[in-house]
A = this chain, B = another copy of it.
Amino acid sequence: MKAEIITIGDEILIGQTVDTNSAWMGQQLNLLGIEVYQVTSVHDDRKHILKALAEAEQNSDLVLITGGLGPTKDDITKKTLCEYFNTKLVFHPEVLEHVRSLLSTRNVVINKLNQDQALLPENCTVLHNSAGTASGMWFERNNTIFVSMPGVPFEMEAIMTEEVFPRLKKLGITQSIVHKTVLTIGIPESMLAERLERWEDSLPEFVKLAYLPSPMMVKLRLSGYGTDDAAIKAEIDKQVKELLTIIPEAVYGFDNDNMGIALGRMLMAEGKTMATAESCTGGSIAQFITSNPGSSAYFKGGVVAYSNEIKSNLLGVPSELIKTVGAVSQEVAEAMALGAQKVLGVHYTVATTGIAGPDGGTDGKPVGTVWIAVAGPAGVSSKKYIFKHNRERNIIRTTHTALNMLRVLINTEKSSKS
């Protein structure tokens, strides 16, 4: 079964909104054995929507449409779908009742615009939207299914989960798609490809390999396509095992893992805890770690020491030291890491101090200069980096580099102990 996603909305094409819906839908559809053939983003424009619908009907068995269902005048999807399917809007009292009750829990008085959300195309199956006031719509024509949903992510997700997937499962899809992603760090893409060449050439035809590089990391994705789900899974598991023997030092996790989850696993296995002392990353490391469920088991807290006073008063960095060597220095980074270890009462800490930019750089310490220190039971170590990027990327790179330094430290202390 082949699907196409059509996202409707000027906000996507003018770049005001990043389309995250398509990625979510792609993941979920793959789990059901449905392949997404194409994603097409078009304007809130009648002609353009009609053209996209007609093309998708040619190419795909399932067309998922998001956006343009709000109560306001710029939203024209419902009207345009009526035109495409040659039908008219009819009133659905049960939808009005739902809109009314939902708005009352939000203390909003229903008005004419909300009431019109109960008007829906006559020849569609109405899909209940438990998370909002714009219903989903399910149409069928010439062996193609069309589903229209609002563009607000959690409303789309509610309709997909509660209304669309159960209906799709009943269709008896026999195709199977299996993805397995291996997360690596520390080996550049081209060197990785060289080391993996022989293994890659030996992969069976139904398994595809993809390299997904980002600064510092490369994700390796194995995708298997076929009808025998168990056999594909077994083959991919076998190949991943072989991969692990070729690049054991570079793999830090799988699939939806991230460096925070990997760190958490290591800390919990060792019965150890951690904390953060952040200056230039401003809470980004703590936020990254605590975004993972269960992180309170190993993450105790942190100090965002943006001002020098807080570095001294909370983390015990001597103010004389800051005056002498400057806040962005090896000495201060290490004092922050050691101070946090003591004050926050944990085994491991990571500390950052640097100049994220765009202001604050000097000739000796340009924007992007960062000192990162990590401390563990065996002591403290630190490293200087010069990231030559904008504020956002300097913060992200510092965050990832710091987490990886901590990962390496925990690994080292573990193996020196055993």
Q: Which residues of A contact B (CB under 8 A)?
A: 10-20, 22-28, 30, 35-44, 48, 52, 70-74, 103, 106, 108-109, 111-114, 133, 152, 154, 177, 179, 181, 188-191, 193-194, 200, 208-215, 219, 221, 223, 276, 278, 281-287, 289-291, 293-296, 299-307, 309-310, 313-314, 343-345, 357-360, 389, 391-393, 395
Which 5 residue pairs spanning A and B have beta carbons closest together? A282-B290, A283-B286, A15-B26, A15-B27, A283-B283
Copies of this chain assembled into the complex: 2
A300 touches B306 (CB 8 A): yes
B301 touches A303 (CB 8 A): yes
B residues less than 8 Å from A359 (CB atoms): 293-294
Q: A113-B193, A313-B345 are in contact. List 8 more A-B contacts (CB 8 A).
A: A13-B35, A16-B179, A152-B214, A276-B283, A276-B304, A284-B291, A300-B310, A304-B304
B residues less than 8 Å from A19 (CB atoms): 18-19, 22-23, 39
Determine which of B72, B112, B189, B286 lies in contact with A211 in the assembled complex, contact meaning CB atoms within 8 Å: B72
CB nearest to A177 among chain B residues: B14
C-alpha gap A153/B288 in the complex (Å): 21
Determine which of B43, B152, B290, B358 lies in contact with A293 in the assembled complex, contact meaning CB atoms within 8 Å: B358
Query: A6 CB to closest chain B CB, in angstroms?
Result: 10
C-alpha gap A360/B294 in the complex (Å): 9
B71 touches A190 (CB 8 A): yes
C-alpha gap A290/B214 in the complex (Å): 23
A38 touches B38 (CB 8 A): no
B residues less than 8 Å from A70 (CB atoms): 189, 211, 213
B residues less than 8 Å from A313 (CB atoms): 343, 345
A282 touches B293 (CB 8 A): no
B residues less than 8 Å from A395 (CB atoms): 290-291
A290 touches B303 (CB 8 A): no
C-alpha gap A251/B208 in the complex (Å): 50
Which among A71, A72, A304 has the greatest number of chain B C-beta atoms within 10 A? A304
B residues less than 8 Å from A299 (CB atoms): 282, 306
CB nearest to A300 among chain B residues: B307
Determine which of B41, B52, B179, B389 lies in contact with A154 in the assembled complex, contact meaning CB atoms within 8 Å: B389
B residues less than 8 Å from A300 (CB atoms): 306-307, 309-310
C-alpha gap A343/B343 in the complex (Å): 14
